[in-house]
Chains A and B, each alone.
Chain A
Amino acid sequence: MARITLSGVSYSYGKKTPYEIKALDGVNIEIADGKITGIIGHTGSGKSTLVGAIGGLIEPDEGQVLIDGADVWKNRKKIREHRFRVGLVMQYPEYQLFEETIRRDIAFGPRNMGLSDEEIEERVVEAARFVELPEALLEKSPFELSGGEKRRAAIAGVIAMRPDVLVLDEPAAGLDPRGRAAIFRNIAEYRRATGKTVIIVSHSMEDVATYCDELVVMSGAKVIMHDTPNKVFSNPEFLVKNGLDLPQIARLNMYLREKGIDLGEGIYTVEGAFNKIMELSSKK
């Protein structure tokens, strides 16, 4: 278990140059323990920077990142331990694969932790199972795999560190619908099996609506909303104003309501809408 808190975190890129950009501006959040938190926001709103700060890869200019109440940058020598506790999978992680075989690449993190060979092997197999990578692929070179398989391998490389918090920056970007669904299913299953905290950055309202327990909405380097998907999607004007879409089902819901068919609040997944519509039609 690990409680992540950000208090007054600010960060700028290109400090002291004409290109200085404030990517985080006084961010205060507390990530719910043992839940899946989604981070949404338009491009350039600072999502990747936020998860970089959470993962201990970006040192805030101001404010603190706390884990179980302890400032992670207090002892700079210990930052590596924080990075093992909070496993960050960056955007397009497949470009970081470098070992001769997938097995060795997944083992890179655990090996850096200084674990024994048996322990490493056990973790590699477990991580590969979570992302549904067949054993046979483990002996292949990363460059023989398809894009989706590489993505899974890279995610497994972080899961193998058994972090208390798993952070994924757009894990499904650039994958086909089936690949997307599989990745999200794997993550949900990982969370269910381990009970660990998961943070996902995503552009897809459908995906966050389906899988997340809580949502953080970012806009212009600030966190502008932090609530359950139910609450977040019940305020369409606010989302649209901040450059975000509604899940398609939420839009369908609005349309049906205009036509006099009310599915009720909190319907924004295909499954939810399907059940509700079946229920309504059987009443008639």
Chain B
Amino acid sequence: MNSISLGQYYPAESPIHRLDVRIKVVVAILFVVCTFLCKNVLSFALLLSLALLSIILSRLPIGLVARGVRPILIIIAITSLINIFFSTGAPENIVVDWWIFTIYREGIYNALLMIVRFVCLIVGTSVFLTYTTTPIELTDAIEDLLWPLKKLGVPVHDFAMMMTIALRFIPLLVDETDKIMTAQKARGADFSSGSLAQRAKALVPVLIPLFVSAFRRAEELAVAMECRCYHGGEGRTRMNVRHVHAKDFVALFGVILFGVGIVVLNTLNIGYSIS
């Protein structure tokens, strides 16, 4: 495990991987807004094609993106059921009328469009953020995007630095835990059997060395940062200054254009539209 495998970053060479991270954050936010703007079948179709296009552009395996939807399958199922059973519509559109259940065609349409909305929501955020951006790039980008707060005296830089260090340390600590557990197993430690109390006790030989090493690392890092005259955000410049390139503007305008397209399609009175 290394720093990159934290989160779900998927390394690949693609136009989306290369986008400026700040732009990617904005694009992801706009994309989410777009999913909520959609009202009728046409605009949903446009949304779906934008989602597909971004998957293709990102060169992510489709299976990976599909797996991202899995955690919210339950939510999707529940909302669909609620939509199907509790939407009411025109009396001539009743599909099933049995016992206490009355299902309208509108309910089914609503459920389907809801599913599309959820899936696009997940696809949009995962393609633009989780799978194509490392957590560290993300904190950097967020620091940049939050610059207005700096003017208000919020220590944005320090929060971002803490965040970065925490993210950097998680894989290290996971690695370390793994090593220490293996070392204690070699001396016969048993983590997987016995009562709950016994198992908790078996963790002592892991936790003590882990804490010791975490404190040691933190101290070393602090000293190393001080030795290099780190003094917080004031007047600090970046090693990799990010420049927004033409392609970033293309992406930004592309997604804005899609948003406009969705609004326009919403006004057309063609096909079914969510009330």
Contacts and interface: CB of A to CB of B under 8 A. Distances in A.
Interface of A: 14, 17-19, 52, 55, 57, 80, 83-84, 87-90, 93, 95-98, 108-109, 112-113, 143, 157-158, 161
A57 B186 contact: yes
Given A57-B185, A83-B187, 8 more contacts: A14-B5, A88-B186, A96-B187, A96-B205, A98-B208, A109-B187, A157-B187, A161-B188
B204 A98 contact: yes
A90 B183 contact: yes
A143 B208 CA distance: 12
23 contacts: A18-B10, A19-B5, A57-B182, A57-B186, A80-B188, A83-B185, A83-B188, A90-B179, A95-B179, A95-B209, A96-B183, A96-B209, A98-B205, A98-B208, A108-B184, A108-B189, A109-B187, A109-B188, A112-B187, A112-B188, A112-B189, A143-B212, A161-B188
A84 B188 contact: yes
Q: Which of A52, A55, A96, A113 has the most CB of B within 10 A?
A: A96
Nearest to B11: A18
Interface string B188-219: 11100000000000001100110011000000
B141 to A, nearest CB: 22
Contacts of A17: 5
Contacts of B10: 18
Contact of A83 (B5, B179, B180, B186): B186
B1 interface: yes
Q: Which of B185, B187, B208, B213 has the most CB of A within 10 A?
A: B187
Nearest to B61: A18
A80 B186 contact: no
Contact of B187 (A14, A18, A95, A158): A158
Contacts of B212: 95, 143
A268 to B, nearest CB: 32
A147 B234 CA distance: 39
- Interface of chain B: mostly helix, strand, loop or mixed: helix
A55 B186 contact: yes
A97 B185 CA distance: 13
B66 to A, nearest CB: 15
Nearest to B64: A18
Contacts of A161: 187-188
B245 to A, nearest CB: 26
B217 to A, nearest CB: 11
Nearest to A98: B208
Interface in B153-174: none
Given A55-B186, A109-B188, A161-B188, A96 B180 contact: yes
Given A14-B1, A90-B183, A95 B188 contact: no
A161 B189 CA distance: 13
A273 to B, nearest CB: 38
A237 to B, nearest CB: 34
Sort A-B residue pairs by CB-CB distance and give the 3 closest, nearest first: A112-B188, A109-B187, A96-B183
B164 to A, nearest CB: 21
B214 to A, nearest CB: 11
Contacts of B5: 14, 17, 19
B132 to A, nearest CB: 13
Nearest to B185: A57
A52 B186 CA distance: 9
Contact of B209 (A18, A19, A97, A158): A97
B76 to A, nearest CB: 25
Given A14-B1, A90-B179, A98 B186 contact: no
B188 A113 contact: yes
Q: Which of A52, A55, A112, A157 has the most CB of B within 10 A?
A: A112
A204 to B, nearest CB: 22
A33 to B, nearest CB: 21
Contacts of A89: 186
Nearest to A163: B186
